Amino acid sequence: MSRDRALLERALERGERDGGSVEFKERLSRDVHLEGGRRESLAAQLRHRVLSGDGEATYVVGVTDDGGLAGIDPDSFSESMDVLSLLAEEADAHIDDVQTWSAGDGLVGVARVRDGSVLETDDEHVVVGTAGHVDHGKSTLIGSLVTGEEDDGDGATRGYLDVQPHEVERGLSADLSYAVYGFDGDGPIRVRNPDRKQDRARVVEEADRLVSFVDTVGHEPWLRTTIRGLVGQKLDYGLLVVAADDGPTRTTREHLGVLLATDLPTMVAITKTDVVSEERVEEVEREVERLLREVGKSPLRIERHGVDAAVEEIGETVVPIVETSAVTGGGLEVLDELFDRLPKTASDDGEFRMYVDRSYSVTGVGAVASGTVMGGEVEAGDELLLGPMPDGRFEEVEVRSIEMHYHRVDRAQAGRIVGIALKGIKERDVERGMVLLPADAAPAPVREFEAEVMVLNHPTRIGDGYEPVVHLETIGEAAAFYPEEGRLLPGDAGKTRVRFKFRPYLVEEGQKFVFREGRSKGVGTVTEVYPVD
């Protein structure tokens, strides 16, 4: 709910007039405004308003013909936006932004309609997950990349990614953040004003190739959130950040372990090279190389071997290393070239599937589920299933609209980070770990499954009833382990039955997961599932 009514007041003051770009509507309904010849007539009216406004029209909904504030209930407002979206599509336009205000017991809103059809997403959208210790400069580095601005030495550019006020105040990220920039034939397309969601949408609209970042959390208490960011997203690459003044830490090793557990092609950025000597940078690079060799990886220094070699060889065994400084801009051009050239690795095959990472409610729109599309594609108007609910049921829902980095899109394919507005469900019933599937799917909720696991760290043995938290896709749930041989020791690989403690989820054979409990950590692969009867 916007608190600044200036936009509304300006629209009302301009008024609805012939040859103008402002249109007043009390409400729009499917039964009335899309029937017979009304749809064509209203689409032509919308087109006229857009052309009169040099490509942009303003629709004020919830007001009378003379501009009086009538206010309509949230469901009617939501339906009005659905109808307006369909009319805009028919007029080769799209809704770019909607703001709402209270009016009596109802809502009044201003929708900005812009010329041109909704963005078609490309097949070369690369998604990168960041990892690394707190204060090693992950968010600052990404902030400088997507804006092209050098940092002030105090982490100013990291503020472009944080999503909670207390994170900005404390200088620590406490949840996943997202950022985007892109490329065209002339080079990078960056975000000019990161505080304006419309500017991020502009990047999505103009770029021929997009790079999205899932920025995770470096502080130890939020390791669970970091694991969710790396395991629960359909990532193409991992970017591990190590500060030159601190070097690899225990958290660095843990985050590297999670990246390797997901079989993610990974690169390492040595940050803060401006605050230490060249000798210290060289020392930290040698430490990183030793760490990589310990886990069976071959380090490749880009400074020595070049970007061509990094692009060609990054993968199962090779990990490129680049020196960077967000303050001087050192190494950022190298990362630009890498992200412009690295091929997409995540497959788009299969039916649509998206595990819910977050849910929220938007006034006039309703429940929104956000996450990364894991397979197939989804379009506005699609009928889907959401679940499982705590009792194992799947609810029927409809896709009202889709947004990607604040830009409304007609459809979204695998690898896209999107928010999907859902019709037919309340936001309070949408939970992290649920999944969206096609309406004709026949999903079976799973409470128990068999897995092959490896124990990376544990102080004693793991026996029957051991209860770590299992991180699978966006699921983060306590589960009991029942090892086949009765126990598992540190470094052991073996089979175990896993049972979620509280409720069922959608789990499928072949999915990878991470489990942890205190300092104890391990990885696993689902080998067999036992659907709930």
Q: Which residues of 150-160 are buried (b: 16+ CB within 10 A; e: fewer)?
A: bbeeebebbeb
Structure-derived torsion over alpha carbons of residues 408, 354, 433, 197, reported in degrees to the nearest 10: -20
What residue type is 31 in one-letter code?
Answer: D
Going across the sheet that includes 56-61, the strands are 22-25, 56-61, 106-115, 93-103
Q: How many CB atoms lie within 10 A of CB 421?
A: 24
DSSP helix/strand/coil, 117: coil
How far is 198 from 318, CA to CA, in rounded Å?
Answer: 38
Structure tokens at 502: 């509280």
Percent of the chain scoring above 70 in pLDDT = 84
**pLDDT for residue 165:** 34
Structure tokens at 508: 């499928």
Place of tokens 């394919």: 413
Q: How many CB atoms lie within 10 A of CB 320?
A: 23
Place of tokens 């309509």: 72
- For 112-163, what is each residue's pLDDT tens digit? 888 875 544 445 678 888 888 878 888 889 889 988 888 877 766 666 554 4
**pLDDT for residue 232:** 46
Q: Provide the β-strand partners of residue 358.
A: 370
Per-block mean pLDDT, blocks of 10 residues, the chain (533 long) = 70 87 92 85 91 91 90 86 82 80 87 70 71 85 89 70 37 51 90 68 80 62 44 74 93 80 87 95 96 92 95 92 95 95 74 90 80 87 95 94 75 83 92 95 95 74 86 90 83 87 94 78 88 86
DSSP conformational letter for 191: -
**pLDDT for residue 171:** 35
**pLDDT for residue 205:** 76
How far is 383 from 220, CA to CA, in rounded Å?
Answer: 40
Place of tokens 């992950």: 138
**pLDDT for residue 498:** 96
Structure-derived torsion over alpha carbons of residues 364, 370, 373, 379, reported in degrees to the nearest 10: 0
Concatenated DSSP letters for 328-362?
A: T-TTHHHHHHHHHHPPP-S---SS-EEE--EEEEE
Domains of the chain: 6-115 (3.30.110), 126-341 (3.40.50.300), 353-438 (2.40.30.10), 446-531 (2.40.30.10)
- For 232-254, what is each residue's pLDDT tens digit? 456 789 899 999 999 999 888 87
**pLDDT for residue 3:** 47
Q: Minimal CA–CA distance to 102: which of 31, 3, 172?
A: 3
How far is 475 from 460, CA to CA, in rounded Å?
Answer: 26
**Residue pair 25/73 in contact by the 8 Å Cβ criterion:** no
